[in-house]
Structure 1
């Protein structure tokens, strides 16, 4: 808990809010900008003495309930609320399970990437969004049930689109799932995925037992595509931190045979692909 920073943050947030913003009368004799301390305390359902001590950097460690009341009273944005929790030494609680909703701007972004296969995965490697080239390179995800769009199920229970780094992906995806299980210990879908993989794959069980959580970045991989042959791509994985998701982008070297293969795939699309591939 950083008492001095917390005190300054509370004061500056209080001073920017006018009484009218929260439905209070302004009054004639208001010697402080924004709200008074007692007004914030009233709105947050805490005592004026307690709030005053927080602003004077001598208050006790506030509970999550107190922080929620202060965030509401001070009309904090999501980013400000998270910052308040960090200053108070009580990081905001994560949602009960991995977020699955993808922002509209991310959908628009992956559609605008030229000659790039791009898709978004959840913390547990569910494919949540994809562009046409990703569908042509990997599979038409719209043609399979959401449960079967999980890349870990593909890696341990089937074929992973003929990629060259299946073993490395198995390790890195298990490490990522281990971290997700730690962040969402009560989520039934996370538990079910782990249980299914443990029951169905000795390889996964061995990797899971290692408790490794280090990230192993993959920089390049090769797809053995059934229509256009081998395609070597650069791999860039960008974290979407606020939703615990990852944007994965596959691109080929300019002027390479792989770029020509991707260009051909962008024309062929998924029209001739067997979705069970």
Structure 2
């Protein structure tokens, strides 16, 4: 007979199974497989928790709770990001969503993290600026042209490489956007629309709190409750190195339309094309001094 003291609910079993599965998948991946440096003091087999959190664009504390089998909410979009970061194959991805009791938004899709091959593809797109962003506007990877398009991304810490944060707090980024108020309003509307599926997630709430604390200007825009879906359009930037650039912006989704996306900028005129070539040359010239 099962007593109340020994009874374990099905949700508890699922959470512990999910925690063990995530931990096992994390420990089997080498840093080199996902484009990270191994370092000298690595004691953990495979990836560290904070590295999985970074690759998945979720909070370290939140991911730690997930591996500790705590009772927290996990959206399909976050599960999709974890599946990609952990390089799960189709069977493993199906198992992940089953353990989480969630419906896979892209059940037939292959998973791919930000691997060295992906970084190579970003490099091959140069001089066209390109990066990978998630729906929270975190910049997960970028090529050298994008790294100097609006500000010097290499000089920023990973947690500060977020387009929303940069658009309201980084003066170099702000001065590079010709129509800053219009861009801010559009970004806030897209961010609000995307956040509807992540309202209870700590990473989203933390970013919103940081924006509200850092910028009263953001609070005014946010209070309008405007929403808008994804869109592609021509953007004009005032780059500090090469001057005005007119670029056609395109989003290429790497998974569900609420997940990671490849963001590219193609010159809309010959002057902008030449400007991007000069910008890449400038970036290449700076590389020896950064080494």
Whether the aligned pair in 1 keeps the contact of 2:126 and 2:144 (CA below 8 Å) is no
Selected match of 2:273 from 259, 265, 269: 259
Whether the aligned pair in 1 keeps the contact of 2:193 and 2:229 (CA below 8 Å) is no
Determine the structure 2 residue equivalent to 1:158. Answer: 170
Q: Distance in 2 between the 1:195 and 1:136 partners?
A: 27
Whether the aligned pair in 2 keeps the contact of 1:136 and 1:270 (CA below 8 Å) is no
TM-score of the superposed pair, with normalisation by structure 2: 0.55
| Deviations 1:9-50 (CA, angstroms, capped at 9, x unpaired) | xxxxxxxxxxxxxxxxxxxxxxxxxxxxxxxxxxxxxxxxxx
| Deviations 1:213-257 (CA, angstroms, capped at 9, x unpaired) | 222624111221122111111111122225811211111136x11
Residue 243 (structure 2) pairs with residue 219 (structure 1): no
| Deviations 1:198-227 (CA, angstroms, capped at 9, x unpaired) | 233233223322333222624111221122
Determine the structure 1 residue equivalent to 2:124. Answer: 112
Structure 1 82/169 Cα, relative in aligned 2: closer, same or farther at 3 Å?
farther
Determine the structure 1 residue equivalent to 2:211. Answer: 197
Q: Distance in 2 between the 1:191 and 1:120 partners?
A: 22
Whether the aligned pair in 2 keeps the contact of 1:82 and 1:91 (CA below 8 Å) is no
Number of residues of Structure 1 aligned to a counterpart in Structure 2: 191
Determine the structure 2 residue equivalent to 1:249. Answer: 264
Whether the aligned pair in 2 keeps the contact of 1:119 and 1:134 (CA below 8 Å) is yes
Determine the structure 2 residue equivalent to 1:145. Answer: 157
Deviation at 1:107?
Answer: 2.3
Determine the structure 1 residue equivalent to 2:138. Answer: 126
Whether the aligned pair in 2 keeps the contact of 1:115 and 1:133 (CA below 8 Å) is yes
CA RMSD, Structure 1 to Structure 2 (Å):
3.5
Determine the structure 1 residue equivalent to 2:252. Answer: 238
Larger Rg: 1
Q: Distance in 2 between the 1:246 and 1:234 partners?
A: 16
Q: Distance in 1 between the 2:143 and 2:150 partners?
A: 11
Whether the aligned pair in 2 keeps the contact of 1:234 and 1:252 (CA below 8 Å) is yes
Structure 2's unaligned 5+ residue stretches are 1-88, 107-111
Matches within 5 A, 1:1-277: 77=91, 91-92=103-104, 102-159=114-171, 160=173, 162-215=176-229, 217-242=231-256, 244-253=259-268, 256-269=270-283, 271=285
Whether the aligned pair in 2 keeps the contact of 1:178 and 1:211 (CA below 8 Å) is yes
Deviation at 1:78?
Answer: 6.1
Determine the structure 2 residue equivalent to 1:35. Answer: none
TM-score of the superposed pair, with normalisation by structure 1: 0.58
Q: Distance in 1 between the 2:90 and 2:113 partners?
A: 23
Q: Distance in 2 between the 1:195 and 1:92 partners?
A: 29
Q: Distance in 2 between the 1:167 and 1:148 partners?
A: 21
Q: Distance in 2 between the 1:80 and 1:222 partners?
A: 42
Q: Secondary structure at the match of 2:199?
A: coil
